[in-house]
């Protein structure tokens, strides 16, 4: 089999997930510009999810609801529930379990966040290919599928005016058919496997919508990095195949930060050290050069990655690895007395106790370690300090007193005062 094309991997991500959960609870919000915001006390609350109708007005995550209403006067605002004085995401977690349950009927999945999951479809695809005697795929089975890089643009010297005028659906269907022709009937063509994978994902997404009412998008390619990238190319309610031969063109103008795991520090250091902006520019460097700058492991990984190759396996895992909760106290609201710190630690511990107990009942497992993180005034990172200790019992009083003991050492006021 062709190098880098051994597997079929998909990533499914729910469209504006928290918004869809609120829309299902309150159908009056459907098909409207709407957002989900948390807390009301400051500027109408902070926006954490935005419907596609609202995005058309320029509304984005992290805006204040009051500011968003200036851009879109008809904006509807759904509120995150609060309990114990903090945001309560239970609804969204429960909705996530519903979605994951449906997806799991189709493939072994790796839950990657509250609203997305990876799946390795290689063996499912091989099964289907056996019964596909003519090695042809009917485009009718791929009604919401785009193929990145197709239709291929006409050569520069040709007249391209008629194409420019055609609409998105026409382009989609033309590109799909063009690509299907190029991969069909070729015995053992690795890219044909992507087409079969996309058929399975169409079925999975239809089942998710049928059973939960939620819509999603997906990416289908040969590895996790490409599947994730592909998923974002035609949102919402669409899926995108990313064939390996479309990578050079796509990576030519793709900022490094758009790639999974390169959005943060590593991506920034690549841009700085090598003076490159786009993923494609990395192909100019030899493997030895990349290893010299970033170490053997990362260097090798980057050398493959800028060519669209990544070997990270899909790990079968449906449950989150950890259960955590947090609350921010920005600016003037920051906690300044021991009593305040103890009060909030206890509220967080109560939520943990409740969720841990539910998790033990539902999933038959027991947490053994407690990690406490805090952020001090002026810190840039969400958590600048973190330590852990054993978690012996699911008991809020014990959890909060252990947590307090852990963070006590940071108190510069001395431990005998209220401050």
Residues at the contact surface with Ca ion, assessed by CB under 5 A: 13-14, 17, 115-116
277 sits near ligand CTP (criterion: CB under 6 A):
no
Contacting ligand CTP (CB under 6 A), which of 49, 78, 100, 103?
Answer: 49
Q: Decide which of Ca ion, ligand CTP, none touches 18; Cβ closer than 5 to 8 Å per partner kind.
A: ligand CTP
Contact track, ligand CTP, 96-115, x by CB under 6 A: ------------------xx
Residue tagged 């643009």 (tokens): 153
Residue 314 gets which letter from DSSP? P
H or E element at residue 147: strand 145-147
Q: How far is 115 from 100, CA to CA, in rounded Å? A: 9
- Return the ∠ at Cα 102 (arms to 100 and 105), rounded to 5°: 110
Looking at the Cβ atoms of 24 and 343, the one nearer to ligand CTP is 24
Q: Which stretch binds ligand CTP (CB under 6 A): 12-20, 127-135, 287-295, 303-311?
A: 12-20
186 CB-contact burial (10 Å; exposed 0-12 / middle 13-18 / buried 19+): exposed
Question: Which CB sits closer to ligand CTP, 15 or 359?
Answer: 15
Of 10-18, 97-105, 172-180, 367-375, which part binds ligand CTP (CB under 6 A)?
10-18
Which option in ligand CTP, Ca ion, none does residue 114 bind, with CB closer than 5 to 8 A by kind? ligand CTP
Distance between the two ends of the chain, CA-based, in angstroms? 66
233 near ligand CTP, judged by CB under 6 A: no
DSSP state of 315: P
How is residue 415 written in tokens?
């431990």
SS3 breakdown of the chain: % helix, strand, coil, rounded to 5?
Answer: 45, 15, 40
209 binds ligand CTP (CB under 6 A): no
CA angle 403, 405, 408 (to 5 degrees): 105
The residue (of 114 and 266) whose beta carbon lies closer to ligand CTP is 114
By C-beta, is 15 or 245 nearer to ligand CTP? 15
- Euclidean distance between CA atoms 128 and 17, whole angstroms: 31
In angstroms, give the least distance from the CB of 13 to ligand CTP: 5
Residue 11 Cβ vs Ca ion, minimum distance, rounded to whole Å: 9
Residue 20 to residue 14: CA distance in whole angstroms = 9
351 touches ligand CTP by CB under 6 A: no
Interface stretch with ligand CTP, choices 16-24, 200-208, 245-253, 383-391 (CB under 6 A): 16-24
Q: How far is the CB of 49 from ligand CTP (least distance, A)?
A: 4
Among 9-17, 26-34, 174-182, 356-364, which window interacts with ligand CTP (CB under 6 A)? 9-17
Give the residue with the Cβ less far from ligand CTP, 61 or 358: 61
Binding-site size, ligand CTP (CB under 6 A): 12
Q: Please state, in angstroms and rounded to a whole number, the distance separating the CA atoms of residues 151 and 244.
A: 15
Distance CA 339, CA 209 (A): 48
Residue 120 binds ligand CTP, judged by CB under 6 A:
no
Task: Identify which of residues 116 and 291 has a Cβ nearer to Ca ion in the complex.
Answer: 116
CA dist 297 and 2 (Å) reads 23
Is residue 16 near ligand CTP by the rule CB under 6 A?
yes
Task: Dig out the tokens for 178 from the structure.
Answer: 């063009």
If binding is defined by CB under 6 A, does position 18 make contact with ligand CTP?
A: yes
The 8-class DSSP code of residue 334 comes to: -
User: CB under 5 to 8 A by kind: which of Ca ion, ligand CTP, none does 86 bind?
Assistant: none
* E runs forming strands in 331-410: 369-374, 385-390
Q: How many Å separate Cα 404 from the centre of its chain?
A: 33
Beta bridge partners of 86: 83
Residue number, 22 or 115, with CB nearest to Ca ion = 115
Residue 49 contacts which entry, ligand CTP, Ca ion, none (Cβ below 5-8 A, type-dependent)? ligand CTP
**Where is 11: in which H helix or E strand?**
strand 9-14
Q: Which residues bind ligand CTP (CB under 6 A)?
A: 13-18, 48-49, 114-115, 235-236
């Amino acid at each position: 089999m062709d190098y880098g094309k051994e597997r079929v991997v998909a990533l499914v991500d729910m469209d504006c997930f928290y918004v869809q959960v609120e829309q299902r609870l309150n159908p009056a919000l459907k098909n409207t510009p709407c957002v989900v915001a948390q807390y009301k006390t400051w500027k109408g609350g902070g926006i954490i999810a935005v419907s596609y109708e609202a995005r058309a007005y320029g509304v984005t995550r992290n805006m204040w609801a009051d500011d968003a209403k200036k851009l879109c006067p008809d904006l509807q605002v759904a509120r995150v529930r609060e309990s114990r004085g903090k945001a309560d995401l239970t609804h969204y977690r429960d909705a996530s379990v519903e979605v994951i349950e449906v997806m799991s009927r189709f493939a072994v999945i790796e839950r990657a966040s509250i609203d997305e999951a990876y799946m390795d479809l290689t063996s499912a695809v091989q099964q289907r290919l056996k019964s596909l005697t003519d090695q042809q795929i009917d485009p009718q089975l791929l009604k919401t599928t785009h193929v990145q890089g197709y239709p291929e643009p006409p050569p520069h010297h040709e007249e391209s005016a008629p194409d420019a005028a055609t609409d998105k659906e026409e382009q989609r269907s033309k590109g799909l058919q063009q690509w299907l022709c190029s991969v069909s009937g070729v015995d053992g063509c690795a890219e044909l496997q992507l087409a079969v994978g996309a058929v399975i994902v169409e079925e999975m997404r239809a089942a998710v919508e049928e059973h939960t009412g939620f819509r999603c998008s997906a990416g289908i390619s040969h590895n996790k990095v490409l599947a994730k990238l592909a998923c974002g190319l035609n949102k919402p309610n669409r899926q995108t195949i990313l064939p390996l031969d479309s990578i050079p063109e796509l990576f030519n103008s793709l900022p490094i930060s758009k790639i999974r795991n390169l959005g943060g520090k590593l991506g920034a250091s690549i841009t700085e050290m090598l003076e490159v902006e786009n993923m494609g520019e990395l192909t100019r460097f030899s493997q030895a050069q990349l290893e010299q700058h970033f170490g053997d492991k990362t260097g090798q990984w980057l050398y493959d990655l800028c060519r669209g190759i990544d070997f990270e396996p899909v790990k079968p895992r449906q449950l989150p690895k950890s259960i955590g909760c947090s609350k921010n106290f920005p600016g003037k609201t920051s906690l300044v007395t021991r009593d305040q710190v103890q009060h909030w630690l206890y509220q967080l511990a109560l939520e943990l106790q409740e969720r841990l107990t539910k998790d033990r009942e539902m999933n038959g497992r027991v947490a053994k370690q407690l990690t406490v993180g805090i952020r001090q005034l002026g810190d840039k990172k969400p958590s600048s300090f973190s330590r852990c200790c054993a978690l012996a019992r699911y008991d809020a009083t014990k959890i909060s007193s252990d947590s307090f003991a852990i963070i006590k050492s940071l108190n510069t006021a001395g431990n005998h005062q209220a401050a």
